[in-house]
């Protein structure tokens, strides 16, 4: 098997057929396949690796250069996608080899974390990924929001096609990237497809000319559903302005559906608002996963005051012994030789053994140290668990982008 990187010119012939077979209706009519080829420009900056056997492409995987907020700091993130294998070449280790190479190149290029949407979570857990919370879908009647219209809220809402309001929408994404743990953004060459396709309305809430909320949406038809994507807001005022906009559709649509953050509580948005909130995390809508590619690069990250030694095992990227210290509120990362030295006696520091997935669960704030033990992601004595729990407090990441 040969693994090599391919450019935009080779993707239509090598990667596209494998990905179309894996993720689309197949066999695909020639016209639809040509449409996919026309959209190749939205992948121009991706890193795509192909595995070849006897000069035939048998597997492919791509990494998108993205950015993600991790506990208040924004880091380069490798968004892994388009992982596909020819059916006759499956279960032969091709994807394992591809991903190991792809993640290694991503780390060497400066990507600190990685995220993906898995076809099978247990497969990617072996690559150091841990599950992140799934977003929810809330359904409600616009009539239940009538009470919001009685309040004279400061601000306005404007409606336009996404192609006309794309710049302000993108700017809000950038602002939320800086503020929200887990939030991630696509590179511009990929993000502009939303603008170019122009298949959505955009409602934008502003206060004193500042964008405080935005949502893209479509309407299925009269008495149908207003289908909203992520309800993005900088705070309660922006959200209330957008909900008030939904309320004005009371005689047009029967229901509103919107995507919300994993920790959102829509039933508290307004009095008399009846909601059904659903979270699906099963094939083919598996929850996202994330992993750490470089623990050293997280030095300086805002953390709690814990102090603990960890040994990360069975991983080609972050394996090793580390001394992690949050004294002063910023993470200090020292490599293994510091533990056991005269200045840092090994016997004086709580020590834990973690898999890469266990480490990632702590960094992203989705797992408690006790979770690692019961799930086989680490060996964590009680004294180390106390320090890890203080160092990596629980928090809810919100990955508000698909790829």
User: One fold for both 2-116 and 136-278?
Assistant: yes
Predicted pLDDT at 36:
76
Quote the CA–CA distance of 12 and 35 in Å, as a whole number: 11
Nearest 5°: CA angle at 38, between 35 and 40?
120
Domain 136-278: assigned CATH number: 3.40.630.30
Predicted pLDDT at 342:
47
Quote the CA–CA distance of 173 and 400 in Å, as a whole number: 9
Predicted pLDDT at 199:
98
Q: How far, in Å, are 26, 182, 295, 308, 352 from residue 349 at the CA level?
A: 57, 30, 19, 6, 10
Quote the CA–CA distance of 353 and 351 in Å, as a whole number: 7
Q: Where are the domains of the chain?
A: 2-116, 136-278, 294-391
Beta strands in 29-172 (DSSP E): 47-53, 56-70, 73-85, 113-116, 130-131, 136-140, 156-161
Burial class (CB in 10 A: 0-12, 13-18, 19+), 357: buried
Superfamily of domain 294-391 in the CATH hierarchy: SCP2 sterol-binding domain (3.30.1050.10)
- CB of 65 within 8 A of CB of 107? no
CATH 3.40.630.30 fits 2-116, yes or no: yes
Render 61-84 in DSSP notation, one character per residue. Answer: EEEEEEEEEETTEEEEEEEEEEEE
**How would you write the pLDDT of the chain (403 residues) with one tens digit per residue?**
999 999 988 988 899 889 989 998 888 787 777 777 788 889 989 999 999 999 999 999 999 999 999 999 999 999 999 999 999 999 999 999 999 999 999 999 999 999 999 999 999 999 999 999 999 999 999 999 999 999 999 999 999 999 999 999 999 999 999 999 999 999 999 999 999 999 999 999 999 999 999 999 999 999 999 999 999 999 999 999 999 999 999 999 999 999 999 999 999 999 999 999 999 999 888 999 999 999 999 999 999 999 999 999 999 999 999 999 999 999 999 997 655 554 555 557 999 999 999 999 999 999 999 999 999 999 999 999 999 999 999 999 999 999 9
- According to DSSP, residue 217 is labeled E
Predicted pLDDT at 32:
78
Quote the CA–CA distance of 43 and 45 in Å, as a whole number: 6
């Amino acid at each position: 098997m040969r693994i090599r990187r391919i450019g935009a010119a080779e993707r239509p012939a090598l990667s596209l057929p494998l990905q179309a077979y894996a993720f689309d209706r197949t066999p695909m009519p020639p016209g639809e396949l040509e449409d996919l080829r026309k959209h190749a420009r939205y992948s121009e900056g991706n890193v795509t690796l192909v595995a070849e056997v006897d000069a035939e492409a048998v597997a492919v995987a791509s990494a998108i250069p993205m950015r993600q907020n991790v506990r208040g700091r924004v880091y380069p993130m490798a968004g892994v996608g388009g992982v596909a294998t020819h059916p006759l070449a499956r279960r032969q280790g091709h994807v394992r080899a591809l991903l190991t190479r792809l993640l290694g190149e991503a780390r060497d290029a400066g990507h600190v974390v990685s995220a993906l949407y898995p076809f099978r979570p247990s497969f990617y857990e072996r690559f150091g990924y841990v599950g992140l919370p799934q977003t929810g879908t809330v359904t409600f009647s616009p009539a239940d929001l009538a009470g919001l219209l009685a309040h004279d809220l400061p601000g306005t809402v404007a409606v336009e096609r996404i192609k006309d309001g794309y710049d302000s929408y993108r700017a809000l994404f950038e602002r939320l990237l800086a503020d929200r743990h887990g939030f991630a953004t696509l590179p511009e060459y990929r993000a502009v497809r939303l603008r170019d396709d122009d298949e959505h309305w955009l409602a934008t809430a502003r206060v004193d000319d500042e964008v405080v909320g935005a949502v893209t949406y479509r309407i299925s038809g009269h008495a149908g559903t207003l289908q909203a994507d992520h309800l993005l807001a900088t705070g309660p005022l922006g959200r209330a302005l957008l909900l008030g906009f939904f309320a004005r559709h009371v005689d047009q649509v029967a229901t509103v559906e919107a995507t919300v953050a994993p920790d959102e509580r829509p039933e508290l948005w307004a009095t008399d608002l009846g909601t059904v909130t659903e979270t699906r995390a099963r094939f083919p809508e598996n929850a996202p996963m994330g992993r750490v590619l470089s623990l050293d690069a997280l030095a300086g990250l805002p953390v709690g005051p814990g102090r603990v030694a960890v040994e990360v095992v069975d991983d080609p990227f972050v394996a090793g012994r580390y001394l992690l210290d949050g004294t002063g509120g910023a993470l200090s990362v020292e490599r293994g030789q510091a533990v056991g030295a005269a200045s840092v006696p090994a016997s004086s520091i709580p020590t834990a053994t973690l898999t890469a997935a266990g480490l990632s669960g702590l960094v992203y704030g989705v797992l408690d140290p006790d979770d690692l033990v019961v799930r086989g992601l680490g060996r964590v004595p009680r004294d180390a668990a106390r320090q890890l729990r203080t160092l990596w407090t629980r928090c809810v990441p919100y990955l508000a982008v698909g790829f």
